[in-house]
Structure 1
């Protein structure tokens, strides 16, 4: 009888040793690792400044999107990739209407991961207050982020940033309750342009004389050739280029007698190289009649930079194209009267 108990006890010891040395698959199908989960805290550094595009302007205003309103909140999506697949995702929305002046944010998100190798990807954009749902970007798969339809331009809340960081948790395999903090530097995958009309007074005077009002007008922006509408956060490259992209925005004119006003702006997914977008702008009355048209405008851009273009776009009736001298040391100004 004693011998039997001794053999049974010895068998249990050997079995426990086997479980420790040769772990099995987990219930959710992950590879066998030490059962300890590592808590990963994420600190992100946001580069919110848009630098004026140096080769063409040194006077354009730099732009930021630090301040949200009561309508929007900044959302963060964190995906931990292992072997090309998402092992875990967590989403958090910062509820403060105003972001702090610091460029560092420690996210209230804690991932609990097995002790394996990962690539941590972080995406941040804006969503409507009170929800985590996509607004301007489809983010179900961060390898295939895409603009929502219909395409929306002329809003600061299409701004976004992304970042990636390698994460090797294998050294923590034999530790219990291990905690790791990962810093991710966030950068824009975008370039921004801003179109400023310098003929506001002329337009107001002309419209009031010919039509009696200068209200209810709009501007349609149309892109020539192909424009990327998607982005792969894992590779850092634009994707999903499409032709025929356009958007229409109300023409909001200043009531303080200003000569200039911004008539439109947009963000474009770009890679690390400098390029340009071909833009056509049409100013329309409430009935849809085209009052002014600028076609074939080549607007240069660079990732993380703001391109500012000034010209008499509200009263221009030019039908041909126009090129920008990218060697011009100042704002991009046009005398459109000489180009008709």
Structure 2
């Protein structure tokens, strides 16, 4: 139902006049409250990248016992797009998305100002409201709470400017519709040994299988994401994680996997460096790599293939950019 904003303006003006009447110095800064009335009734359609329906990545696995948590923040911005003040924050738990159903409609009341709409979506178990992998209490510094892959460690985000100042002088409330498409704020990679046959040939059929892999990041890894700016932040050094390796798939042996915040104001990819140390079930070292530099792309899965269990001090190569759903990086012997 439309409400007459002129009525509320008159009431507020009278209240301000009554408070300030008789004061030696009148403080009229509260008159800004007139522009903070939430009279723009916005309907946001939250869409997911089209790869949602087609990609076959192992970390996109929303089962029926999960919901999707949407966190929205609306910030006033200046002429250059810099953030000023958080005016509205809203969190909604929506049903799990499925193939062919990759959108969610959310209604929110907003002021007649120029705003930045910031959206983050992640998974929660049914009946719960928190996610163990991301702290979204402030979308300008979303914190990743753990290192290493987990099938439920998945999220989507985007931000866009909206301008409702054209409605500021309207007497009645207004209804608007908006849409925003979300992408993953990170890339996922899988480290895969492609030298299993060579390993068995050299060590014999009774050779111990790789049981776990330690990934030690070199240089730095971002542990936060500024969803307002759509950029990683919070660079942290000396991070590592332990990953249970396997099982064998043909001649390929999966060793490790993780997701890393990716992107800058100008690019949607970054280079990250790691050393992979592979161990058997008795914690005996099988092989260790030298520094591996991998180029990973936002919202994509990168497979890093190499002779990780027979060759130490292996290097790395460039990537094949002619990908559809994922990127292959092949490290030569």
Shorter-chain TM-score bucket reads: 0.7 to 0.9
Aligned to 2:124: 127
Aligned to 2:45: 43
Matched, 1:99 2:90: no
Give distance in 2, aligned partners of 1:100 and 1:327.
Answer: 28
Give distance in 2, aligned partners of 1:17 and 1:86.
Answer: 22
Matched, 1:332 2:325: no
> For the structure 1 residues 329 and 316, does the alpha-carbon distance in structure 2 shift closer, same or farther, using more than 3 Å as the test?
farther
Shift, 1:307, TM fit: 2.6
Shift, 1:177, TM fit: 4.4
- For residue 259 of structure 1, the aligned residue among 248, 251, 262 is 251
Aligned to 1:189: 185
Give distance in 1, aligned partners of 2:9 and 2:297.
Answer: 58
Shift, 1:187, TM fit: 2.4
Give distance in 2, aligned partners of 1:334 and 1:310.
Answer: 6
Shift, 1:328, TM fit: 9.2
Q: Check conservation: 2:212, 2:278, Cα contact below 8 A.
A: yes
Q: How does 1:75-154 map to 2 (within 5 A)?
A: 75-82=69-76, 84-96=84-96, 98-103=97-102, 105-107=103-105, 109-148=106-145, 151-154=146-149
Q: Check conservation: 1:191, 1:268, Cα contact below 8 A.
A: yes
Q: Please state whether the residue corresponding to 1:158 is helix, strand or coil.
A: coil
Q: Check conservation: 2:59, 2:153, Cα contact below 8 A.
A: no
Shift, 1:75, TM fit: 1.8
Give distance in 2, aligned partners of 1:18 and 1:139.
Answer: 35
Q: Which runs of 5+ in 1 are unaligned?
A: 1-15, 51-60
Shift, 1:334, TM fit: 3.5
Q: TM-score if structure 1 supplies the norm length?
A: 0.74
Shift, 1:225, TM fit: 0.5
Aligned to 2:239: 245
Q: Please state whether the residue corresponding to 2:294 is helix, strand or coil.
A: strand
RMSD: 3.3
Q: Please state whether the residue corresponding to 1:121 is helix, strand or coil.
A: strand
> For the structure 1 residues 329 and 238, does the alpha-carbon distance in structure 2 shift closer, same or farther, using more than 3 Å as the test?
closer
Aligned to 2:81: none
Q: Please state whether the residue corresponding to 2:278 is helix, strand or coil.
A: strand
Q: TM-score if structure 2 supplies the norm length?
A: 0.76
Give distance in 1, aligned partners of 2:178 and 2:9.
Answer: 34
Shift, 1:158, TM fit: 2.7
Deviates more, 1:196-205 or 1:239-248: 196-205
Give distance in 2, aligned partners of 1:147 and 1:240.
Answer: 10
Higher relative contact order (CA 8 A, sep 6+): 1
Q: Please state whether the residue corresponding to 2:246 is helix, strand or coil.
A: coil
Q: Which runs of 5+ in 2 are unaligned?
A: 1-6, 17-29, 78-83
Aligned to 1:198: 194
Aligned length: 296
